[in-house]
Structure 1
């Protein structure tokens, strides 16, 4: 077969590269279906002509602000244009009326000041440089959910609300380089000396929940200043001085909980506080939460089980005690987070009668790491929903309109990812449903869960079993294959408060802590502990798109 007409000797092209994804070069020889390319990095590579893309040699060196102006709208062309602009701290680029924003990982205050906002007010998209303010202006009395700006019939703002997703609570206890844990921990560790002394804090690297990552400080973020700014923001939304004091006591207590370590006790399947250092952190956590330190210790290393003969107290080993400690820390942080969101919503005011909204959706991007767990499945499931929403609105509906208006155009092929969504969320029989089912049976393990998945989806084109694993599975997402390790799926999907933890914190002498852990309703007592994070995550995310 002859090579494509637009690839000839002398053509400037893009070829794949294992390190850079794509690299540009010039074709110096064509041999049948193979093109020999001399790259700008000095290498010579050979690639099939069907796998290379022409380079736009007329694109300006500073890139284009709207990628529909590119001669070739293919992957390497798009990525190169974004990279060129990003290198100049230009983080916004249009693709038609869609805005692409790349995280600058630094503060760019000139982009979001009041003067810039005024400049974009009333301007048509394309009149000025790409900016989120331009998109916000054309989005005004049209679309939205989740950070809601509510409008009355006259078009004036009448209320606002924050609609949260489920918090990524596992981050409280597990942080991987090069990321930080939640910023508030570092802010508090950089608080004024009187607060440091009051909360018995020190360098953030001395806390287990923070030192699992090598990233302790971030360029461009002054943690001490951010602590003061956070306190000022709390003042502005009406959080009292007493409430602020309680909030940061709770945050500090979470850090101290993470430094409680356990050793094997004298009896089988029992544990004790490991050493004096762990004892110090146990006592400090108890003091900050204003609960009985001995009861806190017992809540971590003992369990009460209801039997027909009465309540039996059992002990747990160091591994189970560590899991109990982390579960308590995550629950405390999550309850505090929900309290703050509710308090902010109450402060800013909502308009229940408003039927016109502008919404800003802030969502995690697609994730594929060396180790992918339950959180990545939830996040990537959400991005599959986003992709379907994008396909529906940008491709399918636009092309149907072109057909109705008899516009001469070339049909654009796009991948329908409904089969991936069905694989994950379909009821009954999807991955989420099978995971929830496994969580209901005490004898289920991640091995038995995976065996069910392997059997159920052995012929599914989007699902695969890795050859060298019995506890992992691979999903072919729209953005690529991701292999998930199921080791902690069951624990992470269960959302319940251990009864001993509930009773301990409800009895706190601090009214704020006690309010975070109100008495559990009858149906959530020891006989019925389990609810599903995955199902709640699916429900909260899917509401965005009306599913």
Structure 2
């Protein structure tokens, strides 16, 4: 899939580079203007490797649309396959809190035989490293790699954040510390993958990061509503904050929750509609849209030397594609 995503993206780029713009500028009137236009046209041809351009007509436009559709389809398959692989370890991470039954969670302690809670986070990182390696080996455009992992991190964010809001056993101090451990692992992964491939993935975890900051906060009873909303959890809605405060339990030190005044302020805002969120649910939804356009791919790509790109084994074995391995 990664091989075909790379090839179709390259073909789409080359096709677009060969198409003339439908809108034509008015013809120059002076001799000097015509000379300038000729010079710019020659320079443009040299810059793109003297690619012969032609007027875009129906067959070419339809072919471009089909190429774009294939790129989007394969992108979705790769993204969904990674989600499916990650879902097992994500479920295990959430299940750790559910099975702890009030005991403090230690990411490094052994449980379930020789499988420690930390190994589930390691499994998430391992799967992303494997997929990133495959995408890089097949020269998938970095912009598409960024979009894949941005949506993957948004998926991870929704899974953990929603678990805080619907599972009382997950909304605890010890589980907040456990998820914080995982967030450190994910932040390290983004740094190692570099911005070229990770893009804004780390920013997709903002709801989970702020919820964890609340869960592990000491002396919650002394914090005001304004401090929670403006400093600690600015991206969370009042409905989401209310759920966190209502479900939270300190299973390690049995310290008190937020004050009654904070809870009263939240209830008042929810009842008078001043914090109306448009009727949307307080839970996060998984985004399955295609987060890029054909233009995004075209702008990000540059003419590159593909001599080191190895064709797929299935094509090499097919006599009709022997030209791919010929010098």
Range class of TM-score, shorter chain: under 0.3
| Between structures 1 and 2, the one with greater strand share | 1
| Between structures 1 and 2, the one with greater helix share | 2
Q: TM-score normalised to the size of structure 1?
A: 0.16
Q: TM-score normalised to the size of structure 2?
A: 0.24
Larger RCO (CA within 8 A; separation ≥ 6): 2
